Amino acid sequence: MDRLSGIADGLAGLAETGAQHAPARAPSAYWRRCPYCIEYIDLLRCDVVSAVRHGAHAASQSAFDNLEPSGPRPDPDGWADGSEMVRRDGYEVFFDADQAQRGHTPRSLAGDLFGHAPASAGERLFPLANIDPRKIPRRLCERCRHVLPAELDERDTLILAVVGVTGAGKTHYLAQALTEGAKRGSLHRFGCTEFAPTDTDDTARMLHEKYYTRVVRRRELFEATNPAEAPRQFTFTVTVDNRRFLLVTHDIAGESLTDPYQRAQNLVFLRRADAMIFLLDPTEFDAVRPRLPAQLIEQDKPADQVHLLRQCLRELDQTSADEIPVRVVVAKSDLLTSYCQIRGPWLHPPARDWREDIGRISDEVQGMLGYLNETEVVRLAAERQRTLFHAVSSLGAPPQQDHRLAQAEPIRCSDPLGAALRGMIHRPMVTS
């Protein structure tokens, strides 16, 4: 099938988001995937709590590895007097979902405290707007007990896995692609009219202070992500072609990805991804390494990136009824230009027609990989119908001798992200 006709929106129906991971029982209008434990939950069964905790905002962290409730749930019959504040898991509770689900008259402290009528069980969500906004009312995930974004009431969650071996540049790529989308509107040409951090977790602060300020303003390089630290999570509200959803992605250490046991036990989001961006490190190409200066070549890495790509594709296929869109990205493309004299259409400004632009780049990158004898990567992708190839540079130029960034512009970082967002919501979206 012709690539461009496959990409055309006219051939694409709206995806039934997350159908491959649907819960065993019939979903209601309020079934959602929790952005933090990636499990399906029923919002009707979630307590409404105050996200103000100990005088500060309760910043939820992604804890999908061995996540347990933060405390035992008390007997729902053990209600305090209506004039007192019921607490659960350290939060002030305004609406008790267990009490409503037991079939009793719904008991809501919000009705007692603020004079609002509670919602009827099984009919509609308890309105967050019924609570004093100074309390920052939010729902509490019935599974992992984390505060949920208010936007989850109206949107489902889609998962974007960004993976690659250690040193592939995942952190630098995320720093550039996410800030370009959120601050510069670089995703508009892909039909993405909204791309903004949620206000429930730590995404906005972390993206600005730890990523944007460091890379873009101070031009400092990141150290390798520490595998002992919990993966950093980013949660965005997104609208593409009038389809509204929450986007969740993570910054993961390469060691956690390349170890099959860690991957199976902890990285739940990878097996439940709705799209995957796989970063290839060109310094690992045998045809490229002899041409690079010694300071740009890392010691032998603990995993082969072609093997990791193969395993990630296998995990996606084993856990999904439909083929998941994959974006294979040659990172650090500036090195190929500087030391291998390889130039391609990714060096040109984005064209008005993104479909033709991305299709041409995908063909050129496949040809370049063949020229560099990375034929197994091309073969793995050729077996799939929903794969595109990209070339990007998060830094725009090789780092200087002091390991700081040169005055260079990033190259095409928004392309894989924008193409992945479209692949998530349009199904089928045959690309090869």
Query: DSSP characters for 134-165?
Result: GG-EEEE-TTT-PBPPGGGGT-EEEEEEEE-S
Q: Are the beta carbons of 249 and 234 closer than 8 angstroms?
A: yes
Domain count, the chain: 2
Give the pTM.
0.82
Residue 373 φ then ψ, to 5°: 65, 25
* Band (4; pLDDT cuts 50, 70, 90): very low
The answer, yes or no, to whether residue 229 has pLDDT greater than 60, is yes
CA distance 82 to 93: 12
Q: Among 7-11, 137-141, 369-373, where is mean pLDDT lowest?
A: 7-11
Domain boundary among 114, 131, 148: 148
> Do residues 222 and 76 both lie within one domain?
no
Establish if 218 belongs to a structural domain: yes
Establish if 35 belongs to a structural domain: no
Domain boundary among 120, 148, 176: 148
> Do residues 166 and 183 both lie within one domain?
yes
> Do residues 294 and 160 both lie within one domain?
yes
Per-residue pLDDT, 182: 93
> How do residues 377-395 score in pLDDT, each as one tens digit?
999 988 888 999 999 998 8
Beta bridge mates, 233? 250
> How do residues 46-70 score in pLDDT, each as one tens digit?
999 988 765 455 555 444 433 333 3
Establish if 119 belongs to a structural domain: yes
Beta bridge mates, 215? none
> Apex CA 166: angle with CA 162 and CA 168, to 5°?
60
> How do residues 97-144 score in pLDDT, each as one tens digit?
877 766 544 444 444 333 333 344 445 788 998 888 888 899 999 888
Establish if 13 belongs to a structural domain: no
> How do residues 233-280 score in pLDDT, each as one tens digit?
889 999 999 999 999 998 877 666 667 776 666 567 788 899 999 999
Higher pLDDT, 195 or 317: 195
> Do residues 301 and 285 both lie within one domain?
yes
**DSSP per-residue letters across 368-407:** HHHHTT-HHHHHHHHT-SSEEEEE-BSSSS---TTSBPPS
> Do residues 93 and 114 both lie within one domain?
yes
Establish if 383 belongs to a structural domain: yes
Domain that holds residue 102: 43-148
Per-residue pLDDT, 402: 63
Establish if 175 belongs to a structural domain: yes
> Do residues 295 and 173 both lie within one domain?
yes
Q: Where are the alpha helices (DSSP H) in 54-209?
A: 97-101, 109-114, 170-183, 203-206
> Do residues 121 and 168 both lie within one domain?
no
- Burial category of 50 from C-beta neighbours within 10 Å (exposed 0-12, middle 13-18, buried 19 and up): buried
